[in-house]
Amino acid sequence: MPYVPPPELASLSLGQLAEQMAARKLPPLDQWNPQEAGESEMRIAADGRWFHQGGEIKRPAMVRAFSSLLTRDADGQHWLVTPFQKLAIEVEDAAFIAVDMQVKADAAGQPALAFRLNADDLVLCGAEHPLRVGGTADVPAFYLAVRHGLEARLNRSTYGQLIDHALALGGDELAVESMGARFALVPTP
């Protein structure tokens, strides 16, 4: 069956976005406790491309399938997990890249920041999926919590969308709100 990507983020209402997120049935990684561990010989480059034994994985459906099996432990090690084994995977920066952002509003008019990831996942920023700022004041890096300890780094255009939104809000502090949570967009020393 061919892979059909979800509709463009801009065309989805907040309700439709929630439906799309609920429709993505992810494996219950938190219920699996495989005894066998090994190496996957896979790498996720800082630009979001996936590699296996040095060759790039170019099929989006394969990347999407593998990404649904990703987790990161407390020590920062990324794993591909199945019920029977977990395989270490090298991740140069973040497991995902946020490639688009849209500002949506709930029924009460409260803002919600919706992000599309390079694996076509949709994530609503908020208390469960917070934004964090890394890097320095001169070269900040913005990350969005996704699931199972995984993060998405915002690419340049998505970072620009986020900053444009924050600047449009005005105020004394460069910050955004999403789903009732507030996020400062300046790295802390």
pLDDT tens, position by position, 156-183 = 999 999 999 999 998 888 999 999 999 9
CB atoms within 10 A of CB 83: 12
33, 55, 110, 176, 187 from 116: Cα distances, Å:
29, 25, 20, 18, 23
pTM across the whole model: 0.88
CATH topology of domain 96-182: duf1285 protein fold (2.30.270)
Q: Please write the tens of the pLDDT for every residue from 19-75.
A: 777 767 788 888 898 999 999 999 999 999 999 999 999 998 899 999 999 999 999
CATH architecture type of domain 26-91:
Roll (3.10)
| Rounded Cα distance, 40 and 89, in Å | 6
Mean pLDDT of the 88-98 span: 97
40, 47, 53, 67 from 94: Cα distances, Å:
17, 9, 19, 12
Q: Left (φ > 0), alpha (ψ -120 to 50) or beta: where does 148 sit?
A: left
Residue 168 dihedral angles phi and psi, to the nearest 5°: -65, -30
Task: Write down the pLDDT at residue 25.
Answer: 74
Provide the pLDDT confidence category of residue 5 given band limits of 50, 70 and 90.
low
- So where are the chain's domains? 26-91, 96-182
